[in-house]
Amino acid sequence: MSDADSPRDSPKIRLVLLWHMHQPFYKDMVTGEYRLPWVRLHALKDYYGIVKLLDEFPNVHQNFNLVPSLVAQIQDYVSGEAHDPFFDVVAKPASEFNAAERRFALQYLFQANPVNMIGRYPRYRDLWDRYRTTSARPEGAESYFVTHDYADLQVLSQLAWFDEFFLTDPDIAVLIQKGEDFTRDDQQLVIAKEREMLAKVLPAYAEAAQRGAVELSATPFYHPILPLLCDTNAGAESSPGLPLPTRRFRHPDDATLQIQRALDSHEKLFGVRPQGLWPSEGSVSEEALKLAARAGVHWMATDEGVLGRSLDFNFVRNSNDRLHIDGAERLYNLYRYQSEKDETRMHLIFRDHRLSDLIGFVYSGMPAQDAANHLVQNIKDSARPLLDKGKNAVVSIILDGENAWEYYPQSGREFLRRFYDALQRDEQIEPVTISEAIARHGEENFAELSRLVPGSWIDANFNVWIGAPEDNRAWDLLAEARDYYDRHANRVSDPQRQLALEELLIAEGSDWNWWYGPEHHSANDRDFDELYRKHLSNVYHALEGIPPEELNTPIISGVMRPSYIPQTAYVRARVDGLVSGYFEWMGAASYTSDQRTSAMHGKQFLLDAVYAGLDADSVSGRLDFHHAAPDAAYRLVVNLEVWRVRENQKAAPDSYRLSVDARDRKLQRWVLTNGEERHKLATFSADNGNANTNGVKVALEQIFEMRIPFDLIGAQPGSRIRLRFAIWREHLPVDSLPLEGWIDLHAVPEEELETNLYSFTPPE
């Protein structure tokens, strides 16, 4: 028995927190140009602060997974060699912009969270509102922006991505206080500060690792799906009957190279060889484990779904979202895999996907202290079945370390500080590195695993990356380029051969197929498609060949359904909770949930679409559920902001909230309150028949509908009314529409609304 597990000690919760840091490889190796700016921007906003924050909490040990291709891109920026056209546009004097640069600036410099990043800076928000209302007009949004607008946009679009630690820099604080009317000197200051900040990122990780605060792990170099790289037939092994590419891709030698290069580059930068590997997207197979073990990897991590399939066990949670005792004992342990076929041995860690998803998708909608308290209590409740038996519990939370934070105020720093503070003060929880967890676990406590079903952290299969027509076409083009390399690599010089191989390894990355197929969507889908095909074309060029014509044709297909349509006519719908026909809500503004979940996967979708509109004296709203209204108890919340111009003042909003409680798909009660002081303006209860509706109408049957009179919320002609719908369960915000921002309505005569018909163009 290990010292940590001796009878004199009470059982502990060993908490493994692993943050996975990753961005696609945006660099074109031939031109040296970066197709998208996200490495630079996330390095400014997320990568530094999340590890620097641990200086304040020396007893909170954590794990960070740094993808080598991300590290290489950061180093490229720090060296000054990165050619980033986005940076060029930010750095150029706005007075020298040509027409193409003005369009480019408006297209890309607003790509940030509209609430927590754009909305944080009033001038940036005003520019964004102007762009939104003019971008679809025939004359183009650039007709509504002048030089000083572009100058302010250049500076604010960068400040919005600055880390909270960087915002305390005195020079930056002065710029933030200034707020607008930025000069060329201000612009050059921001550019200089960016270079300083980028240079601090990687040393912060090295310093934290050297003092033992964090363990750094790696991922195969260009983030490939290892099992599919070994053999695309693994897709059908994981999902029987899955359509496969026409050409079978089978290159375990490439998988080995991706692993070896990752370990070598990590050791070169940080001075030590990593003990662990977070395989890209948690993708594992027995063959992938064998290759990693041969390369000297001691531990790997993936999702509970893979463990469940490998054990033929279903991790079912009860009504409180807790695992039953047998599930908790299986999940909250460390595993030692040993193959029956060969001598492969590997320590395996399996993430609790529910706890991980709470951070990724839920806590951003809660006050920081409430979220921190809820998470700590959930960790304890989850581990309780093992603690009650006198056993230590290893609880693993593993998630994306960058993309979630734009949905939190101030990049989630307040939430993390309160969470870490609670961990540091709690004697029952030990936040540990994975190597510490393995060392303290005790040989007799490891669970044994001799079989591993291929799968990833998403549904324990590979369906995101293979099986859909777009995915399979991408694999076929990769296989064709790989075969061409094998046939022609020997006829060119060593530098050309190395370039062709590098482009192939880049194209083997998982990121391209993340955006192909039906699962995910972003504003940069076409950029990713073009960059993938460019990498493959570069293989042929490097080998002095001609790329196949297919590489000139987009792989991506289909048109996304419009997510937002403005109001074009007064809404006079009957509030009865029933779908009464197409024409009832015709003319309403609408926002449709796009189930393709952008860069992050795993969000729970309960809401499908919302509709909102005004008539001459009221505001109406409708909410459609994704499948049907939940059976369990839940709360619908409609937040409203009413903006009206007051004499001698700028426009200021008054906020209101309609809270609707339902159970068994029936409305129980509702209350409309003043958002600031929570005065009750109207109420209804089905239990006792009490009602003081003040003209408010609310109905819940197939759908949710509501109408609120203008005079109850102080709206008037010329007012701007904004709405946002959310659904709460178990005191947690689980879904909302719009996901970012609001639905905007304007109290104007109906004939003015009709002009929106001609100014709106659905997205391509």
What's the CA gap between 263 and 218, in Å, rounded?
7
Instruction: Give percent of the chain with pLDDT exceeding 90.
Output: 69
Query: Residue 456: is its pLDDT beyond 90?
Result: yes
Question: 536 and 417 in one domain?
Answer: no
Query: Residue 646: is its pLDDT beyond 90?
Result: no
Band the pLDDT of 8: cuts 50, 70, 90. very low
What would the two tokens of residue 56 be? Answer: 């304040």
Using CB atoms within 10 Å of the CB of residue 80, give its burial: 0 to 12 exposed, 13 to 18 middle, 19+ buried: exposed
Q: What is the mean pLDDT of residues 157-186?
A: 97
For the chain, the helix, strand and coil percentages under 3-state DSSP, each to the nearest 5: 45, 20, 35
Q: Is the four-CA dihedral 546, 247, 478, 502 of positive or negative sign?
A: negative
CA angle 204, 210, 215 (to 5 degrees): 85
Q: What is the dihedral of CA 456, 459, 461, 467, to 10 degrees?
A: -120
User: Which structural domain, as residue segments, surrounds residue 514?
Assistant: 469-552
Question: 346 and 294 in one domain?
Answer: yes
What's the CA gap between 235 and 283, in Å, rounded?
11
Q: Is residue 457 part of a domain?
A: no
Q: Is residue 46 part of a domain?
A: no
Query: Residue 548: is its pLDDT beyond 80?
Result: yes
Nearest to 15 by CA among 445, 441, 429, 377: 429
How confident is the model over 494-540, as pLDDT tens digits?
999 999 999 999 999 999 998 888 777 777 788 889 999 999 999 99
Give the distance, in angstroms, between the CA of residue 511 and the centroid of all CA atoms in the same chain.
14
Question: 525 and 572 in one domain?
Answer: no
- Residues facing residue 744 across a β-bridge: 722
Question: 585 and 541 in one domain?
Answer: no
Question: 407 and 544 in one domain?
Answer: no
What would the two tokens of residue 540 be? Answer: 């042929």
What's the CA gap between 662 and 634, in Å, rounded?
6
CATH number at residue 352: 3.20.110.20
Query: Residue 557: is its pLDDT beyond 80?
Result: no
Question: 728 and 592 in one domain?
Answer: yes
User: CA 99 → CA 147, 181, 187, 302, 564, distances in Å?
Assistant: 12, 22, 20, 48, 27
Q: Is residue 501 part of a domain?
A: yes
Rg (CA), the chain: 27
Number of structural domains the chain divides into: 4
- Of the residues 499, 520, 552, which one is the last residue of a structural domain? 552
Q: What is the pLDDT of residue 756?
A: 66
Q: Is residue 422 part of a domain?
A: yes
Q: What is the pLDDT of residue 541?
A: 93
Question: 576 and 487 in one domain?
Answer: no
Question: 419 and 290 in one domain?
Answer: yes
CA angle 759, 762, 764 (to 5 degrees): 130
Write down the H helix ranges in 388-524. 413-425, 434-441, 469-488, 494-507, 511-515
Q: What is the pLDDT of residue 3?
A: 43
Q: What is the mean pLDDT of residues 258-277?
A: 98
Query: Residue 603: is its pLDDT beyond 60?
Result: no
Q: What is the pLDDT of residue 594?
A: 61
Q: What is the pLDDT of residue 508?
A: 98
Band the pLDDT of 605: cuts 50, 70, 90. low
Question: 313 and 230 in one domain?
Answer: yes
How confident is the model over 55-101, as pLDDT tens digits?
999 999 999 999 999 999 999 999 999 999 999 999 999 999 999 99
How confident is the model over 286-306, as pLDDT tens digits?
999 999 999 999 999 999 999
Least confident window among 21-25, 427-431, 471-475, 563-567: 563-567
How confident is the model over 211-232, as pLDDT tens digits?
999 999 999 999 999 999 999 9
CA angle 34, 39, 42 (to 5 degrees): 150
Q: Is residue 28 part of a domain?
A: no
Edge-to-edge order in the sheet of strand 276-277:
276-277, 299-303, 345-351, 335-338, 447-449
How confident is the model over 675-718, as pLDDT tens digits?
766 788 999 998 876 778 889 999 988 889 999 999 999 888 88
Q: What is the pLDDT of residue 574?
A: 86
Q: What is the mean pLDDT of residues 444-468?
A: 94
Say if residues 102 and 150 touch (Cβ distance below 8 Å): yes
Q: Is residue 355 part of a domain?
A: yes
Q: What is the pLDDT of residue 673?
A: 92
Q: Is residue 611 part of a domain?
A: yes
How confident is the model over 326-338, as pLDDT tens digits?
999 999 999 999 9
Query: Residue 366: is its pLDDT beyond 90?
Result: yes
In the three-class reduction of DSSP (H, G, I as helix; E, B as strand; rest coil), residue 99 is classed as helix
Question: CB 83: neighbour CB atoms within 10 A?
Answer: 13
| Total count of residues recorded for the chain | 764
Query: Residue 629: is its pLDDT beyond 80?
Result: no
CATH number at residue 586: 2.60.40
Q: What is the pLDDT of residue 579?
A: 81
- Of the residues 517, 552, 587, which one is the last residue of a structural domain? 552
What's the CA gap between 678 and 655, in Å, rounded?
10
Say if residues 516 and 568 touch (Cβ distance below 8 Å): no
Query: Residue 43: is its pLDDT beyond 80?
Result: yes
Query: Residue 2: is its pLDDT beyond 60?
Result: no
What's the CA gap between 276 and 274, in Å, rounded?
6
Using CB atoms within 10 Å of the CB of residue 491, give its burial: 0 to 12 exposed, 13 to 18 middle, 19+ buried: exposed
In the three-class reduction of DSSP (H, G, I as helix; E, B as strand; rest coil), residue 745 is classed as strand
Q: What is the mean pLDDT of residues 653-658?
A: 89
Q: What is the mean pLDDT of residues 125-135?
A: 91
Question: 721 and 598 in one domain?
Answer: yes
Question: 473 and 357 in one domain?
Answer: no
Long-range residue pairs from 406-411, CB within 8 A, at least 24 positions apart, any chain: 406/45, 406/112, 406/113, 406/116, 406/117, 407/113, 407/116, 407/364, 407/740, 408/116, 408/363, 408/364, 409/116, 410/116, 410/164, 411/45, 411/46, 411/49, 411/116, 411/163, 411/164
Question: 282 and 190 in one domain?
Answer: no
- Of the residues 552, 583, 609, which one is the last residue of a structural domain? 552
Task: Quote the pTM value.
Answer: 0.83
Query: Residue 652: is its pLDDT beyond 80?
Result: no
Average pLDDT, the chain: 90
Q: Is residue 558 part of a domain?
A: no
Instruction: Give percent of the chain with pLDDT exceeding 70.
Output: 93
Query: Residue 1: is its pLDDT beyond 50?
Result: no
CATH number at residue 536: 1.20.1430.10
Q: What is the pLDDT of residue 350?
A: 98
What's the CA gap between 334 and 391, in Å, rounded?
12
